[in-house]
Structures are given as C-alpha cells and as structure tokens.
Amino acid sequence: MNPFSRSLIAVLILGVVIGTLYGQPDAKPKKFALLVGVKDYEHSKLAGLNYPEADATVMAQLLKSHGYNVVLLCDSAGKASADSKPTRTNILKQLDRMLDQCKKEDTVLVGLAGHGVQFEVDRSSYFCPVDAHPLKPETLVSLKLLYQKLDDSGAGVKLLLVDACRDDPLGGRGRGIDGDTAPKPPKGVAALFSCSGGERAFEHDKLRHGVFFHYVIEGLKGKAENADKEVTWDSLRAYVKKQVSREVPLLMGGGAKQHPNEVGNLSGEPPVLVGGQVAAAAKPDGEWEEFIKVSMTIGHTRLFLEKHAQGRLDEWRRKAEAGDSNCQVFLAKCYQSGIRQTKDFAEATKWYRKSADQGNTYAMSQLGWMHFDGRGVSRDYEEALKWFRKSAELRCPEGVIGLGYLFHKGKGVARDYDEAMKYYKQAVELGHAEGLAYLGDLYLYGEGVAKDYSEASKWYRKGVEVGNASSMWLIGDMYRQGLGFGKDSTIAMQWYMKAANLGDADAMGRIAHMYVDGNGVSKDYEEALRWLRKAVEQDNAFAMFDLGSMYEQGLGVPKNTDEALKWYSKAVEQRHSMAANNIGMMCYDAKDYEKAMRWFRTALEFDDKNGMALQNIAVLYDDGLGVTQNSDEAIRLWRQAAGLGNKLAIAALRKRGIEP
C-alpha cells in the first residue's frame, strides 16, 4: 500500500497566544512571530506553489507593524543567508529560540506555508520544509512535534490557522488535510482549518493568496475588529468563515465550495491577536508609513528623504546594519540620490538587496528599477522583470507599476499595451497615484486605445487630486501644446511650478524649456540653467540632455563641445535616445561617419520611434557616408521617419517626387 493516503498543501500559521493577560501590573507583554514560506522545493515530487511566500511575507510585514518580533524563513531570504532558508533544521531551531524567550504574558505566532503530507499508518500530519523528502518522515516537520514543543513552552494558549488542500503533490493520489481529518490539538490549542471534510482549499490570482489566508490577513488588518476595536480569535474566526464560504463560489465558479472548520480546546476569554493590552505599545512605523504614502501619491521621495535624513541618517544606518529592512531602504535611497553622502549606486543596490531578502516588497521593486536602469548592476530587463513580478505577487503597488511599464515599453517582454493598462489599473486599485498618470499617457498617445485627449486629461486630473507630481506636469504639457484645450503657456507654467515645488525633476526640466523659449515667461538662459542644474542633481536624463544642448549651442554659457559631450554621455548612460543622436551629429560634423552611424543606431536601439535618428541614418545611406550607398534603404528609412512626423524626412521624400 502506498504510504500516502492524503496530502496537505498548507499555509499554516501556528500561533501561541497567552491565555490571560493578567499578572503583575508592570508586566510588559512581548509578541513574537516565526513565519515560514516555501514556494520552490528541492524534491521533484513536491511541485512549486504559487503563493506560500506571499502569504508568509505579507503576514510578516503585517505582524511587524503591530509590534511583533518577526523571523521570516522563505526562499528569497534563504538566498541571502543560509540561516534564513526554510529547512527543517532552521524551522525547529528558530522555534526553539523563540519559545525559550516566551513568558506567560507574551504572544507567539508561528506560520508555516507550503506542502504537507499525512501518512496512513500513524495518521500523522507533516509540514514539508524546502529540503523535504515526501517519503521520509524524518525529513518533515511533524505537527505533533510542534504541538509538543508549544505545549512544553511557557505559553498558555496556542492558535492554529491551517490553509490546506491547495494542490496535490502526489498527482491525484491523495487529498489535503481538513478540519475533520487533521490531528486534534492538545488542551489550550484552537485550530481553524481552511476547509471541511471532502472539500478543497482554493487560491486565486486576483487575491495573490489562498482565499482562506487572504481573509485571515484582511481580518487582522481590521476587518475582523470587534466592538472594542480588537481582533480576537473569535472575531477573526467568524469573519474568515463567513468571507471564505461566501467568496469561493463567486471566485471559482463550477460549484466550488470551501467552509473553514474550527477544532479547538480553549477556555476563558478569547485571546486578542491585534489590539488591546498586548498591542497597546505596538504602533506601526509612522516614518515608514509616511514614506510609502509620499511614494504612492507624489510619486517620488526626494523631499521626504532630504527632510528626514538631516537628523536621522546615522540612526537609519545603525538600524540598517542591525537588520531593520525599512531603514535599509532609507539608506539605499540616500546612496542612490546622494543625500547627505556620496552618491553610490552599487551601495544603494546592496542595501535594497538586503531589505528585499527580508521580504520588503518595496525594496524588491527598487531592485527592479536598478536593473532596468543599470545602476549599481548591469542593465538586465529580465532581472528587472523578475523583481517587479516578485514584488507585484506580494501586492506591492510599486512592483505592479514596474510590470506595467515593462509591458508598456516592451522591455524584457513583448510590448503589450493591454497588459500595461491592466497593471496600471491594478496599481491604482492598490492606491498608487502614478498609475493614474500612466493610464493618461496611454490615452494621450493612443497606445492600445484610441487617442483621446479628454480621457487622458481625466486620468491626469484624478492624479492631481491626490497630489501626484507627474500628473501635474502632464496637464501642463497639454496646456503648453494645446491638446484637448486651448494653448496657454501661462497655465502650463503654473502646473510645472506645482510639480517642481514637490521636487519633481521632469517638471524642473520643463520650466527650463519655458525660460529658454520665452514661453509663458521672459526668455532667461541663466534661469533655465538654474532649473536644469537642480534637475540633474536628481540624475534626470532629460535635464542632462538639455544641459548638453545649452553648452553645445552656447546658451547662457560659452560654447563648449567637451562639456556638451560630457552631459550627452551622462544622458546616454540612462538610454536617452536624443542624446545618442546628438553625439552622432557631433561625429557627423567631425566627418567620422562610421562612428556617427553607430551612434544613430544606438539612438534607435533606445527608442525605435526616434524620427530624427531614422532621418540621419537615411542621409548616410543616400550619400554613401560610412556605409555602402543605398537609395532604396534611404527611402525606406525616410518613409519610416515621415510616418513619425519628421519634417526633414517628409521634405526629402517630396524632393524625390514621393508623397509620404
């Protein structure tokens, strides 16, 4: 007989909560959490799972915000430190360390997310660590062993949340553990299982979690609060049972059903999980919350960092070195932007990685951008995609925005405007205002949708309403160009100023343009240079390009081709297409036509819609400069450039009697 009769794919949160909060008046309760998520297993019979790491990581962040001392063991963390790999040895070692610290006033939560199995012979249930062999019980983590360890500890009440039956690692030869078949907990333990006998527990891509665990998290966030603004075991149980039973048929269809089932052995008042005396001193990290709010509304964090780093940088560094993942992000941002220390992209990337390895989803998204831009690491769109996707799977809006941008621009994936729109809308649903600006862009340029200035303006104004700086200067662009409403340079300048006052470098570059052109303001090259220099301090490639142009043309400064080349080259490092084109023109003027051709082609590599680069390559082919003369190729390129509105290409075609 096959030793397996059932299988468990479990996201298991095993909690130990003090049965009573009474004791000495001066007792200070502590809260601990050990959270384990195993997504990719070493053994071939244990298939990879979708969301265990997301379940454990989001739970870790949530509990940390409520004052828990959290240890997270998961695939990502294990890549940075062997001690954080979710092996059997590490799970039991960390549990023992945690329980050794517990007193009767304390709260302990242990969460296990991954595969599980149940044997027919002894009917024992086992959690599968990353190094599990499913046929060898000695490589697994027995629930009975966990029960025993918890029972032997100083904790009074133990709570289990078991999300089981998501998949069958044995290919249909088993079934998952439910509340009817799971081993009964000892005295002082209550368990809420994700489903009842004969049912299956579901997960859903929309939720990015198992349905059961999604509502556990939502409940702990406050939706399961009782009249006293506490989330207790009873209030959480009632909320999860109601939501899962109701939502599974709607989400899954096909007659699917899932009814969470409680097995418990508690006495006395239901323990408080969030709120009440235990959490009275546990307040969320207000500084981090403010940082995230700024990032999701304004769209960038430079002003926040400049303000806070003045008195906090040394403390951020100390906490970062001690392992605080939020402070690791603050430190990385300061290195990235050169705030109160020398700019160092490699050091920034190092700290983002340390934070990401601890499950910080914002840091994951920033690693994506570092790989996208090639800052501190080599430019690698596939690596950017990996980190954006990892962050997005954990419902981080910054990661969702990154995914949308890759599909929008066709970097690392095939260009797909529908996918871009989908992710931008997801980001908006998660509260990220930058998604509103990107949605407006799709309508402004007619990318995947019909060009619609009214619809673009609608999305931009939604962004403005929540303080998004990009949306402000984008509305300014519409006024400056007269798109959707009458041209008005004065109003455009007002919108640019609003965004610039929020520290937006793109807006600063636009203000510089207005001063160069005398558009809405008096022409003033010195003022233009002042705004460009403010923008280049933020590594803005467009401002670098414009500053190079000022030096090349001698506007407000003496002509200086070396200085122009320096700024064009800096912009090229960030893949600025027109900067590459202008370097090509400098080579053309120096009669180095082969080098000019390389730079024009580089410009097209950066932006395949660069009509000026197409026009310049066409000229080289038509004249046989740096390449073999080829009039047909020249005409083909001129047609392509003319289709993008390039007036020189249109004139070249008409000169040859060809209508574009």
Phi, psi of 265 (to 5 degrees): -145, 55
Q: What is the pLDDT of residues 444-463, one digit of tens each?
A: 999 999 999 999 999 999 99
Q: What is the pLDDT of residues 170-221, one digit of tens each?
A: 444 334 566 666 777 887 777 788 888 778 888 888 787 888 888 988 898 8
Q: How would residue 121 be classed by pLDDT, with cut points 50, 70 and 90?
A: low
Secondary structure of residue 7 in the 3-state scheme: strand
Say which CATH architecture domain 581-655 belongs to. Alpha Horseshoe (1.25)
DSSP letter for 276, please: H
Domain with CATH 1.25.40.10 in the chain: 286-495, 504-575, 581-655
Q: How far is CA 156 from the centre of its chain?
A: 38
Per-residue pLDDT at 517 exceeds 90: yes
Helix/strand/coil for 195:
coil
DSSP string, 463-510: HHHTT-HHHHHHHHHHHHHTSSS---HHHHHHHHHHHHTTT-HHHHHH
Give the chain's largest Cα–Cα span.
96
- Give the residue with greater pLDDT, 14 vs 116: 116
pLDDT at 535: 95
Q: Is the pLDDT of residue 283 over 60?
A: no
Confidence of residue 268 (pLDDT cuts 50, 70, 90): confident
When pLDDT is averaged across residues 77-103 and rounded to a whole number, the result is: 90
* Joined tokens for residue 389: 């996707």
Q: Residue 249: which pLDDT band, with cuts at 50, 70 and 90?
A: very high
The CA R_g of the chain, rounded to the nearest whole Å, is 29
Per-range mean pLDDT, top range of 105-114, 150-159, 233-242, 490-499: 490-499
* Entry pTM: 0.66
pLDDT at 522 over 90: yes
The alpha-helical segments, DSSP class H, found in 254-323 are 276-279, 286-297, 302-321
| Angstrom distances, CA of residue 253 to CA of 49, 175, 219, 257, 525 | 22, 21, 24, 9, 65
pLDDT of residue 48: 84
CATH class of the domain at 4-217+246-271: alpha beta
Residue ranges, comma separated, of all CATH 3.40.50.1460 domains in the chain are 4-217+246-271
pLDDT tens digits, one per residue of 525-554: 999 999 999 999 988 999 999 999 999 999
d(CA 592, CA 42): 56
Residues contacting 196, CB < 8 A, separation 6+: 178, 179, 180, 259, 260, 261
Q: How far lies 580's CA from each of 558, 565, 606, in Å? A: 22, 10, 9
The answer to whether 177 and 116 have CB atoms below 8 angstroms apart is yes
Mean pLDDT, the chain, whole residue set: 87
586 near 572, Cβ under 8 Å?
no
Please give the pLDDT value at position 319: 93
Q: Would you identify the CATH topology of the domain 504-575?
A: 1.25.40
Into which CATH architecture does domain 286-495 fall? Alpha Horseshoe (1.25)
Whole-angstrom distance, CA of residue 624 vs CA of residue 614: 15
- Could you tell me whether strands 189-193 and 157-163 are parallel, antiparallel, or unpaired per DSSP bridges? parallel
Say if residues 10 and 114 touch (Cβ distance below 8 Å). Answer: yes
| Stretch 268-276: mean pLDDT | 79
The pLDDT value recorded for residue 25 is 38
Task: Tell me the residue type at 377.
Answer: V
The contacts found for 590-595 with CB under 8 angstroms, 24 or more apart, are: 593/620, 593/625, 593/626, 593/627, 594/626, 595/626
